[in-house]
Amino acid sequence: ERPFTCAHCPKTFRYKKTLRAHQRIHSGERPFACTYCSKAFRDSSTLIVHQRIHTGERPFACDQCPKAFRDKKTLTVHQRIHSGERPFACTHCPKAFRDSSTLTAH
């Protein structure tokens, strides 16, 4: 069940908190500012990942090699180098890719 509907678009949400965060897309509000460079973000989780650029923190370590990453998504894409997984397949040719942006560029 998704009882919370955005007043600006047809998207619906399970939680009111998620709806409020989504509505910042429409309002342009960016209440979470970086203490290092003052860049502002719509949600706190994006700010946390951004601040790791300044602190150098890389809490997501690969268990196959010495590399570490600022966010889990980048680690997940990296791990596909080791596993050989290529989940993003082109519908026009036999090629497949590790991440969606490479497929889009192709």
pLDDT of residue 58: 98
Closest listed residue to residue 44, CA positions, set 57, 30, 54: 30
Instruction: Identify the domain containing residue 19 by its residue range.
Output: 4-55
pTM value? 0.75
Reduced to 3 states (helix: H, G, I; strand: E, B; else coil), residue 84 is: coil
pLDDT of residue 76: 97
Tell whether 25 and 64 lie within a shared domain: no
User: With contact defined as beta carbons under 8 Å apart, do 71 and 49 qualify?
Assistant: yes
pLDDT in tens, 11-68: 999 999 999 999 999 999 999 999 999 999 999 999 999 999 999 999 999 999 999 9
Tell whether 21 and 45 lie within a shared domain: yes
User: With contact defined as beta carbons under 8 Å apart, do 61 and 68 qualify?
Assistant: yes
Reduced to 3 states (helix: H, G, I; strand: E, B; else coil), residue 88 is: strand
Tell whether 8 and 34 lie within a shared domain: yes
Tell whether 79 and 50 lie within a shared domain: no
